[in-house]
Amino acid sequence: MGIIEKMRLDNKAIFVTGGARGIGKSVAIAFAQAGANLAIVDIDIEEASKTAAMIKETYNVETIAIKTDVTNPDDVNSMIDTIINKFGKLDVAFCNAGICINAPAEEMTYNQFKRNIDINLNGVFLTAQAAGKVMLKQGHGSIINTASMSAHIVNVPQPQCAYNASKAGVVQLTKSLAVEWATRNVRVNCISPGYMETELIKESEQLKPLISKWNEMAPMKRMGNPEELQSICVYLAGDTSTFTTGSDIIIDGAFSCF
């Protein structure tokens, strides 16, 4: 089998949390283009259902939409049961759901801080743990977590200490799981995107004024596109990355290099 064939994801079963829009939706499309069957997981079931239907119609792969609160263990376990009942297995987990709350540290409420940690870090743990349990029994699997360049730098000018802390936690969680499961054929990696020009950012009145400042600071003088994350996720999901585990792959146009 050649390298191109090995890059295919035909008949692999994959879930994508935060899959209704943004990075999750873009990567889900790439998985579908490579032949995978998908569970689009999101708290917004209406949008998740639209994304799942579009992917199924466009790429002729099996898709389902599942409403899940990734901070709720019962919800996460129910999600896994639904996936196994539908596909009979779970090959890849893309633990991607996340939020960002911008508030000065001295003004941030505990509930704001906790919500950031709950979704971005605890949610990744719960979904990766649930996926890992299935994969360890199967004897194979790949887990991809979404961290951020914010795990490595302190973003300016926006104040986002909770987000930065949560994403740094995702990187170390990823490495820890990778080491624990390394001899059991379950790989765990994460991607650390820089600023991505998603619909959410383009439509946010709070963030719009910051875009020009980010672009001015960026070595490439622009934000990334979600599509520029697709190929690395397909690589991590597939059979050409069998020696890649515990890696944090930064895709930020060199933003965090200085």
Q: What is the pLDDT of residues 4-20, one digit of tens each?
A: 888 899 999 999 999 99
Cα of 82 vs its chain's centroid, Å: 20
What φ, ψ does residue 188 adopt, rounded to 5°?
Answer: -135, 120
At 126, list the tokens: 């719960």
- 81 Cβ contact list (under 8 Å, min separation 6): none
> Confidence band (pLDDT; 50, 70, 90) for 73?
very high
Q: What is the mean pLDDT of the chain?
A: 96
Tell me, yes or no, whether 256 lies in a domain.
no
Contact 88, 39 (CB under 8 A): no
At 29, list the tokens: 């499309």
What is residue 185's predicted lDDT score, i.e. its pLDDT? 98
Q: Which letter, b or e, does each residue of 152-171 get, where b requires 16 or more Cβ atoms within 10 Å of its Cβ? A: beebeebbbbbbbbbbbbbb
**Residue 181's CATH number:** 3.40.50.720
Q: Where are the beta strands (DSSP E) in the chain?
A: 13-17, 37-42, 63-67, 92-95, 141-146, 186-193, 248-251
Tell me, yes or no, whether 87 lies in a domain.
yes
| Domain with 197 in it | 3-251
Tell me, yes or no, whether 148 lies in a domain.
yes
What is residue 136's predicted lDDT score, i.e. its pLDDT? 98
What is residue 200's predicted lDDT score, i.e. its pLDDT? 73
Residue numbers annotated as active site: 148, 163, 167
Tell me, yes or no, whether 39 lies in a domain.
yes
